[in-house]
Amino acid sequence: MTSTTPALPRPLALPDFPWDSLVPYRRRAAEHPEGTVDLSIGTPVDPTPALAREALAAASDAPGYPAVVGTPALREAAVRWFARRRGVTGLTGSHVIPTTGSKEAVALLPSHLGVRPGDLVLHPRAAYPTYDVGARLAGATPVPVDVEADPTTWSLPEGSPVMVWLNSPGNPDGHVLSVEQMARVVTWARARGAVVASDECYAELAWAEPWASQGVPSLLDARVSGTLPDGAPDLTGLIALYSLSKQSNLAGYRAALMAGDPRLLAAVTEVRKHSGLMVPAPVMAAMTAVLADDAHVDAQRETYRRRRELLLEATHAAGLVNDEDSAAGLYLWLRGPAHMSAFDLVGAFAELGIVVAPGDFYGQAGAGRVRVSLTETDERVEAACRRLAATDLLRA
């Protein structure tokens, strides 16, 4: 009896994992006598708030399976948070579900919504790579577009545009979409039966006006979505994602939210039920606690503001220019002289023991730029600033 080697699944056409290309630069940075300053990935380093840890511990006796849709307390806390912090009213528990971090949601949402080969998934030109990956996982075609421009000017390949990703404030560039810009995309998408999904995980980190005082607009804001006869926002075809990783230092908890059109969320929930995609009950308790508290968010934002000002001053003095439209978020979006590529800049930083991310990770719009995170300790940020002041970073 002969045996036959099982046929393996056809590999997905995924890009190389971009962070692997930083390995030699990390090695070089680690040779610095005062150690590495890692300003690349953007993982929080400050303590998780005590109220989150206490809520997690109190809920740690959790022998049963958690509900995919979340606890009633969590959904109510999310509804109140959207009204209080994002200016989104009219939501109910049916408009919100928790997710195991926002990256999972970004990667799987196209598949959960039934996106198929031949479909087009649009995303910003300078973009978090997972928008592209999520489209490919569904067999669809990812298409970068200028989401700040009039959508009627977009030049699209053959195929059906079924989904448009927005990311405001943007990663990596910190751009914020206005109410008018977002509403324009919603109108365009609805005319074509396409879903609009907005990744809003940096919304609490606004630095420039008018966003610092007025708040960053949400896709679910009635000024963007339009309203129903009862005055509630018309959420048809709209989904917003939010993460507690940045505002509350819960990256290790994998704690995020998805909100919007209840018809779409019901379909997503069915897939998540079959897949067993459930947020652990203790994590949901921690999420409930932090969504009800604004003081720790304000304190964390002040910490990032202070680090941002130090890094802006140091990188400007070194000859780098931050994007003039970078008004919010967790990163500086820097360019150097025209003769230096993004990886030239990464190498120059590595010589100083500093690790940054090349703009190439975020699409062709990132050529010649680097992304610099605000997520290092005060001591490490200050060390990076001293090194930048003591050395000619841009020497040929």
Spell out the SS3 assignment of the chain.
CCCCCCCCCCCCCCCCCHHHHHHHHHHHHHCCCCCCEECCCCCCCCCCCHHHHHHHHHCCCCCCCCCCCCCHHHHHHHHHHHHHHCCCCCCCHHHEEEECCHHHHHHHHHHHCCCCCCEEEEEECCCCCHHHHHHHHCCCEEEEECCCCCHHHCCCCCCEEEEEEEECCCCCCCCCCCHHHHHHHHHHHHHCCCEEEEECCCCCCECCCCHHHHCCCCCCCHHHHCECCCCCECCCCEEEEEECHHHHCCHHHCCEEEEECHHHHHHHHHHHHHHCCCCCHHHHHHHHHHHCCCHHHHHHHHHHHHHHHHHHHHHHHCCCEECCCCCECCEEEEECCCCCCHHHHHHHHHHCCEECEEHHHHCHHHCCEEEEECCCCHHHHHHHHHHHHHCCCCCC
pLDDT at position 394, please? Answer: 73
pLDDT, tens digit (0-9, with 9 covering 90-100), for 308-358: 999 999 999 999 999 988 999 999 999 988 888 999 999 999 999 999 999
Whether residue 123 contacts residue 117, with contact meaning beta carbons closer than 8 Å, is answered with: no
Residue 25's closest CA among 392, 352, 355, 383? 355
The class that CATH gives domain 61-292 is alpha beta
Residue 107 confidence (pLDDT) = 95
pLDDT at 324: 86
What is the chain's Cα-based Rg? Answer: 21
How confident is the model at residue 12, as a pLDDT? Answer: 62
Domain ranges (residues) in the chain: 18-47+296-390, 61-292
pLDDT confidence of residue 396: 45
| CA distances to 47, 161, 194, 220, 285 from 179, in Å | 34, 22, 19, 10, 33
- pLDDT under 50: residue ranges of the chain: 396
What is the rounded distance in angstroms from the CA atom of residue 88 to the CA atom of residue 80?
Answer: 9
Largest CA distance in the chain: 75
Chain position carrying tokens 């879903």:
195
Give me the pLDDT at residue 8, please.
54
CATH topology match: 18-47+296-390 vs 61-292 = no
Cα–Cα nearest to 200, from 250, 249, 257:
257
Domain 18-47+296-390 has CATH 3.90.105.10: no
pLDDT of residue 326: 92
Q: Tell me what pLDDT residue 390 has.
A: 85
Residues 160-185: tens digit of each pLDDT: 999 999 999 999 999 999 999 999 99
The pLDDT score that the predictor gives to residue 75 is 97
Given this model, what pLDDT does residue 363 score? 86
Going from the C-alpha of 20 to that of each of 17, 106, 203, 374, the distances in angstroms are 6, 21, 29, 21
